[in-house]
Chains A and B, each alone.
Chain A
Amino acid sequence: MNFDLNILFDNIGAISNGFVVTIGAWIGGVVLGIVLGLLVAILHRFGGKPLKALLRIYIEMIRSTPFLIQLFLLYYGGPTLGITLDAIPAGVLALGIYGSAYFAEIFRTGFNSIPSGQLEAAECLGLSRRQVILRIQLPQMGVLIMPALVNMVTILLKETPVLSIITVPELTLVMTGIGSETFAFAEVLLVLCIGYLILVEATSRVGQALEKHIGRYLDHRTQQIKTPEEMA
């Protein structure tokens, strides 16, 4: 059998659709996960003890069970509990919930990293809790947590093939389908790898650019000038 890339060109339409579904589910999951995660982290930080305990259980349950099982539970177990979702919404929701536990932990670390004195200063000047989060805490923790965030975003991308098991027509489902029809598994799997690699690489680049952008103020560290005239 020859290595024949024509098989891919013959199926370019289906592959593009798969690609679009993968990116859509991934970005949907990431956005949902970050929003939910941030919410969980904020409630965990400022909520009362019972709420804190509840959120802790939420985080631990999600982090200690496989994504596949969570997905099954939502998609196949959901109808029993009155939650009936199509494959794509179920997939996005499951990705978002799965991601939220990890994002929450990342944001929690971020909140803890800002010295409490800065918050007291803000409090004394009359800034509200919301303003403190938006103006003081989030902008500073961005630099610190960006690598961990980007890492989690790429992990979520690499979880999207799991959605093929509940028939979400994403890239892996499409490609393995083509593979089974044509037996051109080498070509198909190679394209899959390259596809994910490009997306992960692009994500890292965007992450680095963002980190640099948010952390502009840190660049000034190297320009510290301390001559006696300066201090006068």
Chain B
Amino acid sequence: MKYNSVVTARFAAGWGCLLLFLLVSLFSMPVLAQEEPVTVDTESLLVVPDSLPLEYYPLPPSNVRMKDVPNDAGGSLLIEWDLSLDDYEGGKVKEYRILRGEAAEGPFEELGSTARGTASFTDNQAKRGIKLFYKIAALNYEKTNGEFLWKASSESDVAGPAVSTAQWFNLSRLNIFIGIIILCGAIIYFITAAKRGKSFYIRKIAGIEEVENAVGRATEMGRSIYYIPGISDMDDVQTLASLTILGHVSAIAAENDTRIDVPVSKSMVMVTAREVVKEAYSKVGRPDSFQEDQVRYITDDQFGYAAAVDGLFVREKPATIFLIGAFFAESLIVAETGNSIGAIQISGTAMPAQLPFFITACDYTLIGEELFAASAYLSREPKLLGSLKGQDLGKAVFLLAILIGVILESFGVPVHELFSVR
């Protein structure tokens, strides 16, 4: 009864939120921002005669100032200046050239250029710890077909020295640091609580609940199981999460004496998956049943892999197919082929673009974080369940932060900077 009333309350709350959101959205249509101005770069200067009348020369820019770009490994300086008085539409200034030297007397080399109206430039090649001097030249010229007819430049005073330095902490990422500490703190707290014996409730995840039934179906039909761990390599956490589930599925398959095949797309995944399956067979006391060719490498190529897997499905007609891991465009091809042969399909991915395809073509789908929760769900190990609980608390904190941020922004309090990521 309690479960039903909780479900009803959640259902009502969910629909209430959806209706509120739709009502608000209908009265606000997306508004596009203005296009950004694009800085102009020009080709290198050719040597041209410089004996021009004075009126060709623009007034120089002034007040050149430099500052170290913060939160970097050194090597960047931000140069700013006051625009030349001749910098206006139709004025003498066409662009600015930035010149750099290691001594106030020179020599100066040209770093780059900016368009008229731009009063800043970032030097990304400043050597760390070296004193540098800068000056800005306002340039007037006439070109035809990219070639200069004449040019006249006026330089500002030399400014400097400036030194770029490296920082020991990236302050622009302080918000991420705090967020990570909150989240990791919550996770570690609940892991510790789990170690002390506290038990945690975890809701049913339909896809994982059905794993045993799906393997059982294959056993009854006398057909094999296929497990596809995605096409990403071992550096993708989704692949690691998939291999956790593979271990569990392999153990059940080994217990039921049902063959499980794992065609993979990456060599390192093949090596790891082989270990996982072999270990699973050993754990249930069937090490001799494991054959090395159950886990085999196909190809790194995305569609070559999809074609091979499709071919295997159509020829061998497995009763159960698991599509769990990182998938890309081949997801629907593989899932539809599996559907066409009448197999029961359990899928799971954290690729938002592929989720709709799996949901339409597969019987059960683990959506996003359900994939990462699978290891805790399957093992029911208290420490892992504790980490799920901590993740949930972290999510609650972030949701609250989003809600507060939205309300404050709606009333004109600019808090979005606090949440920006650099």
Physical interaction between A and B: no
Enumerate chain A interface residues (CB-CB to B < 8 A): none
Enumerate chain B interface residues (CB-CB to A < 8 A): none
